[in-house]
Amino acid sequence: MMNKIFVFILFTLVNVYACAQDTIRISDFGLKPDTHENAVQIVQKALAFAKIKPGAILVFPKGRYDFWPQYATEKMYYESNTDVIPLRRCAILLEDLKNLTIDCKGSDFVFHDRIQPFTIDKSQNISIKNVNIDWDIPLTAQAEILDVTDKYIDIAINVLESPYTIENGKLVFIGEGWKSRWHGEMEFERETKFIASQTGDWGCLGDGSQNYKAENLKYGVVRLNYAFKRKPAKGNYLVLRHSARDHAGTFIVDSKNVTIENMNMYHNGGLGILSQYSENLTFKKVNCVPNTNKNRILSGHDDGLHYSNCKGQITVDSCHFLALMDDPINVHGTCVRVMKKKDDRTLLCKFMHDQSIGFIWARSGEKIGFIENEAMNTFGTAIVESFRSTSPELFEIIFQEPVPTTLVEGNALENLTWTPDVEIKNSFFGSNRARGILMSTPGKVVIENNVFESSGSAILIAGDANGWYESGAVTDVLIRNNIFKDPCLTSMYQFCEGIISIYPEIPKADAKKPFHKNIRIENNEFHPFDYPVLYAKSVDGLSFTGNTLIRSYHFKPYHSRKATFTFDACLNIEVANNKFDGEILGKNIKLINTSTKNLKIGKSQGLVLEK
Amino acid sequence: MMNKIFVFILFTLVNVYACAQDTIRISDFGLKPDTHENAVQIVQKALAFAKIKPGAILVFPKGRYDFWPQYATEKMYYESNTDVIPLRRCAILLEDLKNLTIDCKGSDFVFHDRIQPFTIDKSQNISIKNVNIDWDIPLTAQAEILDVTDKYIDIAINVLESPYTIENGKLVFIGEGWKSRWHGEMEFERETKFIASQTGDWGCLGDGSQNYKAENLKYGVVRLNYAFKRKPAKGNYLVLRHSARDHAGTFIVDSKNVTIENMNMYHNGGLGILSQYSENLTFKKVNCVPNTNKNRILSGHDDGLHYSNCKGQITVDSCHFLALMDDPINVHGTCVRVMKKKDDRTLLCKFMHDQSIGFIWARSGEKIGFIENEAMNTFGTAIVESFRSTSPELFEIIFQEPVPTTLVEGNALENLTWTPDVEIKNSFFGSNRARGILMSTPGKVVIENNVFESSGSAILIAGDANGWYESGAVTDVLIRNNIFKDPCLTSMYQFCEGIISIYPEIPKADAKKPFHKNIRIENNEFHPFDYPVLYAKSVDGLSFTGNTLIRSYHFKPYHSRKATFTFDACLNIEVANNKFDGEILGKNIKLINTSTKNLKIGKSQGLVLEK
């Protein structure tokens, strides 16, 4: 505790020393690994020093560092697809920084309570590498299923990392500054670590499961008394979901040229890495996976890598995702609804998804698209003159030119400037709740050399301006050389109509003017156990060529869609040069609102066409 | 988390409401019990409101409230007999407050990390009542002894409340923001909860015990490999001491008229209640005891009630003390050493105990005594004109009149203004490390109707200006109607020369001018198992009358002092009207440097006089 004077002296010494070279050691500021003391304040000092030393490398000697909310900067951030709370606790905040590398040398950064490990705000040329992010007491719990009967299920909870209590018969987890009731669960198979098939968002305990009555057999073993309508398997694991989605693992906002490499994100309190209004983002060997050293099956609280309104080049290379409680990758923009046309250049608009509000949605000079609500066609664009928030939900936008005269209240706007090119390669999408990749950007998209064991669809290309208000239409997507293994689509989640599901939410799809364009699915390997491989709605230009489909029998077919391929309101489709190994189910093409002249089937495909 | 706006609205409502009456409910500020959220900030708001509402009662509806270091006010306090650290974390800080009652309605206040639960600074007419203070992860650990062999001891540790690790063969406890190596221990008997006899500061594991090598048999069971020279008993408990003495449980400073009632101080990180430069303090039913609901044997980290440089009336009524790691009650002033006589009215002085520095030691108008070093006689007094700290250890003091010409460098000063009257009654002094009561004040002292089961001396009247520099001489002490049960003096600690030990540290006691005066020990019941009942050094006027001594055989005699009574350099002693039941050991009076004419022995006492 007398260290403060010592730190001050060292700080002065470091001052002299570090001017001579670029490496700043956190130990020079008085922070040693493995002490369990709160690192927050000392890291703040080191970052303040880094600010006056552009180009520096901040090094953490390998070890364990602990971060507590005390002294963490609390900032008002509107974080996309995240609960709105007054202040976010930023454990390590890089703000207005340029040209900084943080090399953690393989250290464990252990966080406590609800907190955001890294925040990169208004910064450029930032690199973070070689770090493991975890919590001693995670914000999600897990249990091993000890016994399953018609009347109850017994579960074992590691009380060292998930202390709990039972209140009014309900299981309530207790952490470092919070108490949180169990509200949902996912079942993972003991050996494979797959989400149990035909569970997913259908649930693994059946309807009414939250009417259970918990009973403590001993501290760490809980009997859930209820005649569960679906029964999980003895020996499997349950991830017990609780607590809010209130902090990202890493939040990148208003920043440019950010590289994250060799990061094991073993846990977090929301989205893994949330990038928002940022440009040129490279994530290599970022793993959102369970910490197997701790016998964990749980990993991140929600999504893995979430990109909201980004631009430039997004690269995801050699990343792993397992046991997340939401999609590993989600790339999208944010649509807003026109509430009022104040004059021919001025619109009052509203954010429509209550977790995505309060953004500076546009800046002068940015290009905005106008979208009608039925076929979701873009019927015009205009350039922004000014933007003004009037409340967290509402803003006024003025354009440099008159908006289209056909625009009516209820139409949607899309910001076409904040749309990135995306490359996702060499990555592993294990069994996570929901889909593998959600992709909604008009930029150039390449998804290649990945392996998918997704519980739901491996890839979902959605886009809507009616429900989630996540834009936008794709125009150039290449999906090649990936392996879609048989766990893909073993469970159901929203919009999962095929291993690859192209499912924009369009109230009245216009078959003449499809929403999405130019999607090529080439040279991939699929291992379907069920019918739907590809479902596509409202696409102009869709090829499925050179792929190999190999029938799997590892799972029981269940999907209501009994077609290998479904094309709904599409133009210019090609299915050619694919190989079909084994008794592929259906081996059929279902056309809906799509004329056969728009479908080109290659030679020897042996597919049955259904209308 | 959206509660802040709600709190603000409520605050406004409360404003209107509370003007109509005096009760402020913490729940009106948005704090509900049992949520495990951090109460610190909301309590700060309530106290700020209380400040503009003198006479208010702040009520905590019964339940559990959690306090974390985050948002706690960090203040630079020099706390007496406590490690010097840069800033103390004050969870609940009452500063410049008047006429406030805090009624916690029997709530559990649970603290996290190193922190000071209550701080009362520059406040008057403060009452705190009905509260239990505890830690989930205490700053001291305990273990049950599972097995004892010649080669090792196996101990069980409750890892839910004392997580640990083993580093280089040593047992290291891990808490909420700290890691701390085991450095000492006390053995408590399983059934009686007494400190094992003949251990105490002699140790319960023998010399060299810290050369053990720890081995994890399983998490929660540790084998301490070492041929321990003393062996604790299987089934007994060890309190495993670790961590610094850095925060009091309650710190009262520069305050007046403070009442604490019905407080269970189950744990803290230093002294229980430290009162310093404060006046008129009443503690009723303040219990520094283990939380038996948690199967704890450990209680506070160090002393129970510690009074340093107080004045006015101190009352301790119906308080319990058990398993503390230092004295339950210690009342003393702070002597300082004269370093330099700058002129006939100006002295440069130094604080001599490194845990007791930095005080505003004197104020204009206060009366200071000058003490010589050998017999520790006060050879003059003077009134302060001014005081100025020159460093945490040093200060300059200027007197209104010249200091005695005989004063030399190395002499000591005592502040005679900050000397309280003390009444300690109806209290229970269980088995704690060290003594029961340490008393050093010239004020009127009454110790009555208490029960002592102290491990060391029940009462120590010390006073020194050479070692601990804790003043001062007593002038009026009445010890009556107490029961000194047989555990008293079962173990040895510093200055423990009798069940009642009057042991000022005087290099050359002057038998003509004793240091202490006027001590009456009347109508008490003693249950000695060993020789020394009363030891007195340098007292003028000491009576031991009307007491009953009943021989106990529960413990084996061991004390090196083989005299029931010892008087060293004393004047005017009376031993009369005492009853001796059973084979009282010694039944003798040892006179040292004391003439028989100064000893009046009553009729039929049957005591052997030794010289």
Bridge partners, residue B321, by sequence: B288, B429
Do residues B368 and B479 both lie within one domain?
Answer: no
Give the H/E segment covering residue B50.
helix B40-51
Instruction: Say yes or no: A121 and A160 in one domain.
Output: no
In contact, A321 and A302? CB cutoff 8 Å = no
Q: Tokens representing A102?
A: 């943080």
Q: Return the H-helix or E-strand segment holding A12.
A: helix A3-20
Q: What are the tens digits of pLDDT across the range A286-342?
A: 999 999 999 999 999 999 999 999 999 999 999 999 999 999 999 999 999 999 999
What is the distance between the alpha carbons of residues A268 and A132, in angstroms, rounded to a whole number?
A: 11
Residue A460 counted as domain residue: yes
Contact of A35 with chain B, judged by CB distance below 8 Å, is answered with yes
How far CA B526 is from CA of B200, B323, B481, B553, B581, in Å, comes to 21, 22, 10, 13, 10
Total domains, chain B: 4
DSSP SS3 for A534: strand
| Average pLDDT for B96-114 | 97
Which amino acid is residue A385, in one-letter code?
E
Residue range B358-374: mean pLDDT, rounded: 95
Q: Is residue A425 part of a domain?
A: no
User: B463 falls in which pLDDT band (50, 70, 90)?
Assistant: confident
Q: Is the pLDDT at A351 greater than 70, yes or no? A: yes
Q: Is residue A329 part of a domain?
A: no
Ramachandran category for residue B606: left, alpha or beta (phi over 0 → left; psi -120 to 50 → alpha): left
**Residue that is written with structure tokens 């560092």 in the block:** A65
Which pLDDT value is given to residue B347? 98
Which residue is closest to A219 within chain B, CA to CA? B160
State residue A26's pLDDT score. Answer: 97
More confident residue, B140 or B470: B140
- Residues B162-171 have a mean pLDDT of 98
DSSP string for A96-126:
S-EEEEEEEEEEEEEE-SS-EEEEEES-EEE
Domain boundary among A394, A415, A436: A415
DSSP state of A221: E
Instruction: Say whether pLDDT at B288 is over 80.
Output: yes
Q: What is the pLDDT of residues B580-607, one digit of tens each?
A: 999 999 999 999 999 999 999 999 999 9
Across the interface, of B4, B160, B177, the residue whose CB is closest to A86 is B4
Residues of A in contact with B246 (CB under 8 A): 1
Q: Is residue B316 part of a domain?
A: yes
- DSSP letter at B47? H
Residue A437 inside a domain? The answer is: no
Percent of chain B with pLDDT over 90: 92
Residues A296 and A409 placed together within one structural domain of the fold: no
Burial call A211-233: b when 16+ CB within 10 Å, e when fewer: ebebeeeeebbbbbbbebeebbe
**A475 shares its domain with A501:** yes
Band (pLDDT 50/70/90 cuts) for residue B21 is: very low
Point out the residue among A1, A69, A86 whose CB comes nearest to the CB of B86.
Answer: A1
Q: A279: domain range?
A: 3-136+245-321
Section A561-589 average pLDDT: 97
pLDDT at B108 over 70: yes
The whole-angstrom separation of Cα A427 and Cα A447 is 10
- ipTM for the predicted complex comes to 0.89
User: How close B123 comes to chain A (CA, Å)?
Assistant: 27
CB pairs under 8 A between A and B: 74
Q: DSSP letters along B296-335, please?
A: -----SS-SEEEES-EEEEEEES-EE-S-SS-SEEEEEE-
- Shortest Cα distance, chain A CAs vs residue B88, angstroms: 10
Give the pLDDT band (50/70/90) at residue B115: very high
pLDDT, mean of residues A43-48: 98
Closest to A39 measured CA to CA, from A64, A61, A67, A63: A67
Nearest to B70 among A69, A85, A160 (CB): A69
Task: Classify B257 in phi/psi space as left (phi over 0), alpha (psi -120 to 50) or beta.
Answer: left
Tell me if B312 sits within 8 A of B419, measured CB to CB.
no
| Residues of chain B contacting residue A5, judged by C-beta atoms under 8 Å apart | 86
Element (H, E) at A178: none
Q: Do B244 and A36 touch (CB under 8 A)?
A: no
- A5-38 pLDDT, tens digit per residue, is 444 444 444 444 444 448 999 999 999 999 999 9
Structure tokens belonging to residue A543: 């090829």
Last residue of a domain, one of A273, A299, A321: A321
Are A1 and B244 a contacting pair at CB < 8 A? yes
pLDDT at B147 over 70: yes
At residue B5, φ and ψ (nearest 5 deg) are -65, -40
Whether residue B562 is predicted with pLDDT greater than 50 in this model: the reply is: yes
Residues A307 and A224 in one domain: no
In percent, how much of chain A has pLDDT > 70?
A: 97
Asked if residue A198 and residue A289 are part of one domain, the reply reads no
Q: Are B92 and B250 in contact (CB under 8 A)?
A: no
Nearest to B447 by CA among B468, B461, B430: B461
Q: Answer whether residue B328 is part of any domain.
A: no
Helix (H) or strand (E) holding A48: helix A40-51
Task: Give a yes or no: residue A435 inside a domain.
Answer: no
Closest by CA to A209, choosing from A180, A174, A245, A238, is A238
- Paired tokens of B48: 């700020």
Token look-up 């294990």 returns A430
Report CB contact under 8 Å: B177, A68: yes
In a domain, residue A431? The reply is: no
Tens of pLDDT, residues A146-170: 999 999 999 999 999 999 999 999 9
Task: Tell if the CB–CB gap between A36 and B163 is shorter than 8 Å.
Answer: no
Do A488 and A557 sit in the same domain of this protein? yes
- 3-state percent breakdown (helix, strand, coil) of chain A, nearest 5: 10, 45, 50
State which residue of chain A sits closest to B1, comparing Cα positions.
A85
Confidence tier at B12 by pLDDT (50, 70, 90): very low
Q: Minimal Cα–Cα distance from A84 to chain B, Å?
A: 8
Mean pLDDT of chain A: 95
pLDDT in tens, B31-49: 999 999 999 999 999 999 9
Alpha carbons A513 and A520: distance in angstroms, whole number: 18
The answer to whether A178 faces chain B, any CB pair under 8 Å, is yes
For residues B298 and B185, membership in a common domain is answered with no
Q: Do the chains contact at A5 and B86, CB–CB below 8 Å? A: yes
pLDDT for res B1: 39
| DSSP structure class, residue A87 | -
DSSP characters for B77-135? ---TTS---S-EEEEEEEES-EEEEEEEEEEEEEE-SS-EEEEEES-EEEEEEEEEEEE
Which candidate, B563, B543, B542, B546, places its Cα nearest to that of B608? B563
More confident: A463 or A178:
A178
Concatenating the DSSP letter of every residue in A399-413 gives ESSPPPTT--TT-EE
Q: CA A489, CA A533: separation in Å to the nearest integer? A: 9
Give the largest Cα separation in chain A, rounded: 81
pLDDT reported for residue B466: 75
Q: Are residues A113 and A257 in the same domain?
A: yes
The per-residue pLDDT for B341 is 96
B 67-106 residues with CB below 8 A of A?
68-72, 83-86
Nearest CA-CA partner of A437 in A425, A429, A445: A429
What does the block give as tokens for B24? 């402020």
A9: CATH: 2.160.20
Mean pLDDT of A456-467: 89
Cβ of residue A159 closer than 8 Å to a chain B Cβ: yes
Percent of chain B with pLDDT over 70: 97
User: To the nearest whole number, what is the mean pLDDT of chain B?
Assistant: 95
Residues B428 and B411 in one domain: no
| Mean of pLDDT values over B58-74 | 98
B4/A35 touch (CB, cutoff 8 Å), yes or no: no
The mean per-residue pLDDT over the stretch B434-463 comes to 97
Task: Please tell me if residue A1 touches chain B, with a CB cutoff of 8 Å.
Answer: yes
pLDDT digits (tens, 9 = 90+) for B82-101: 999 999 999 999 999 999 99
Question: Which tokens in the block code for residue B62?
Answer: 């019964």
Query: What is the pLDDT at residue A32?
Result: 96
Whether A246 and chain B come into contact, CB under 8 Å, resolves to yes
Q: Does B172 touch chain A (CB under 8 A)?
A: no
Q: Fill in the amino acid letter for A40.
A: V
Which among B38, B72, B85 has CB closest to A1?
A: B85
**B68 lies in the same domain as B207:** no
- C-alpha dihedral sign at A16, A21, A26, A31: negative
Torsion from C-alpha of A168, A171, A173, A174, nearest 10 degrees: 30
Judged by a CB distance cut-off of 8 A, whether residue A38 touches chain B is yes
Q: How far apart are CA A500 and CA A240, in angstroms?
A: 28
Q: Tell me, yes or no, whether B587 and B516 share the same domain.
A: yes
The model's confidence at residue A467, banded by pLDDT at 50, 70 and 90, is confident
SS3 state of residue A52? coil
**Contact by Cβ (8 Å): A585, A564:** yes
End position of a domain, from candidates A265, A300, A321: A321
Nearest CA in chain B to A6: B86
φ, ψ at A598 (rounded to 5°)? -85, 0
pLDDT of B467: 77
User: Distance from CA of residue A247 to its chain's centroid?
Assistant: 13
Neighbouring CB atoms inside 10 A of A167's CB total 12
pLDDT above 80: residue A430: yes
Q: How far apart are CA A275 and CA A452, in angstroms?
A: 23
Compute the average pLDDT of residues B527-532.
Answer: 98
| Phi and psi torsions of A605, nearest 5° | -80, -25
Cα B102 to chain centroid distance, Å, stands at 24
Interchain CB distance below 8 Å, A177 and B66: yes
